Amino acid sequence: MKMATENFIFWINIAIAALLMLSMVFLSRNRNFERSVFENSINAFLFGLFLLFVARLVRVIEIAEETYPGVLSSWGVNTSSFLGDLVNISALALLPLFAICMLVSVMLAKDAFDHV
């Protein structure tokens, strides 16, 4: 039962990463077609989504190593030496930067609404 739960969580994290990538692609295409006063807010939001995407990829690598031990090492990638560091960087740097980008995005959008 534990293996099925870990496998389910692994695929949910992959789906989240894919949806984040699609969101970034659609937002960047929308930004290219529609220039407005909200462009700075959208740029901050896109950067925040990118940071969340990178943090999610680190989580996918961590879960892949736990769920399927040896899969990444069979491709020639030695994750044992730097996986813990990646998780720490994700938790201590990427996620707080994501929160700051979202806050800046909302503040820029609020200022843009005041000028409309």
Kind and range of the H or E run holding 5 = helix 2-33
pLDDT per position as a tens digit, 9-44:
989 999 999 999 999 999 988 887 777 788 889 999
Supply the pLDDT for residue 52: 94
* The pLDDT of residue 55 is above 90: yes
How many Å apart are CA 39 and CA 35, to the nearest integer?
Answer: 7
Q: Which domain holds residue 99?
A: 2-115
How many Å apart are CA 61 and CA 58, to the nearest integer?
Answer: 5
Domains in the chain: how many in total?
1
Q: Which of 35, 27, 23, 30 minimizes the C-alpha distance to 112?
A: 35
CB 43 within 8 A of CB 31: yes
Confidence (pTM): 0.84
3-state DSSP assignment of residue 70: coil
- Eight-class DSSP state of 36: -
Strands (E), the chain: none
Supply the pLDDT for residue 61: 86
pLDDT per position as a tens digit, 67-106:
887 777 776 667 667 788 888 888 899 999 999 999 999 9
